[in-house]
Structure 1
């Protein structure tokens, strides 16, 4: 199980939002690349980056910051504002390893299918769920689309990695929604990265237990718990590897 420490960028700074709300922002660093360097020093091979300005506006706003993170030599998984092929190509050109498609995936399966055909495993789909329904545009809008149904359609067109975020637990430090993650794992064959709610070391262990039962649990994204020092990244990486 891979640990993906998270960096959310807003206005060029490293922040965390509670349940995706722009008015519930905590700034943790003025220099996201320095945070990524700390993650690398702890032993992380991947970093999950979200351009929050891009997610809200529809276009990437922090590519210079993304470039500085990618230059560290870590594998970068980037989401936020990836709503055109040009945006995807631009991100990959900066050294991003995997691009996450969110809003456009809910709008157009054809768009995702074309990207998968062109870029293969470099394309992931982010499914953000609010009470089981897909939320888009930086979680501002909730659609009538079933998160599980969308996941199954993405799986069917060849998407190799899904990032499943439970909005209700994201940034709340209340523990992950294990039941929702397990339901997702049961119903798709592609890899799933769990996101939302990790609050302590035991939560990583609980997800590790799921990984032993479901081979398609690729990993877990951890954000606020690392910044609040509730989870030690180096320890979590060792636990996930055991």
Structure 2
């Protein structure tokens, strides 16, 4: 607990990230990884294999963008820096450990931003008690297009903390409006990735299973109703074995990875 408190108090954090709980989420994720490192190891290894194969689809050199770089648990950073001239790590905030690791690699750059473009409009809507925003767009990064872009376990997570803020501040907003807002976020994220890079890839959790005594008792969709094609790679992630999140149930995620994001977005309806 002391380590987590120190990290929370000393990590540089933009006001918008703090307001929506991204700092707390980052600290909690790091603590869970330290507790469940052995359970997470196969997932981490699978992520690294996927990233190493995905980046082979892009021509070496140029710039690479990693969206949702987080604590770099799932990212083989040194392999990326060896293949591309510059690697840009994008997230809402970066921990001190990530900053130290990036500082040791001369071709790594850190960018703190909301890749969805939704948080500032949402904050304004919640403050004014207005409807959920509809016209938000993801910001373009200086120097785009990139040679390669990768979204790292981010797609399913994008709407979670914003919708928690909606539940706290505007609980009367209809469920249909919330789902429409979530879908705009995830659709926009995928289109943004394909727009800023010559080649884009993605891995994300697809569903979450609650397991008791080896039997699946409940499965929850994690993709907000997106009609995704079959992934190029898939694996399981034992993210919270009992009693990590539930005293009696294990929590396991199914994860999918797609090497060519345009094969995913080509089936989407127009905006």
TM band (smaller chain): 0.3 to 0.5
- Which has more radius of gyration? 2
Give the TM-score normalised by the residue count of structure 1: 0.34
